[in-house]
Amino acid sequence: MEKAEITRQDVIEAENKLFSAQLVSNVDILDELLYQDLIAVAPTGEILTKKMDLDSHKAKTMIIDDASIIIDDIEIIGDTALSIATMTARGKMMGTPLEGKFRYFRVWKRFRDGLKVIGASFMQLT
């Protein structure tokens, strides 16, 4: 029988798996967790796609030297979940030092092959 609803633990595990993949630019895991038609909004307002995200990890344009994440909130509606997480990170973006706190808002949906991010936005807090 197919599991339709999402639990809080499912989202926590998916968020942690995504965070770990982002840290080391594991494109295979990111490809698994991001929906094919993902729409994300960057702090600049730029609309990002799954391909753009994967390409940036393949090119290693962002190097994370140190980071931690706190899951602030999770709301579940059937086979969909909303998550808010705060990442504290230090690294480089295209060679430029980057440090601060970042807030992520993600929409997760359960598919046959697991949870995937279908929408997201993020902003720098500090």
Write out pLDDT tens, residues 40-96: 998 889 999 999 999 999 999 888 889 999 999 999 999 999 999 999 999 887 778
Tokens of 103: 């807030």
Whether the predicted pLDDT of 2 surpasses 60: no
HSE-CB of 115 using CA atoms within 13 angstroms: 26
**Cβ burial, residue 41 (10 Å; 0-12/13-18/19+):** middle
Amino acid 3: pLDDT = 63
Amino acid 1: pLDDT = 45
Mean pLDDT of 31-47: 95
Output b/e per residue, 15-39; b: 16+ Cβ within 10 A.
Answer: bebbbebbbebbeeebeebbbeebe
Q: Which residue has the tokens 């799954």?
A: 50
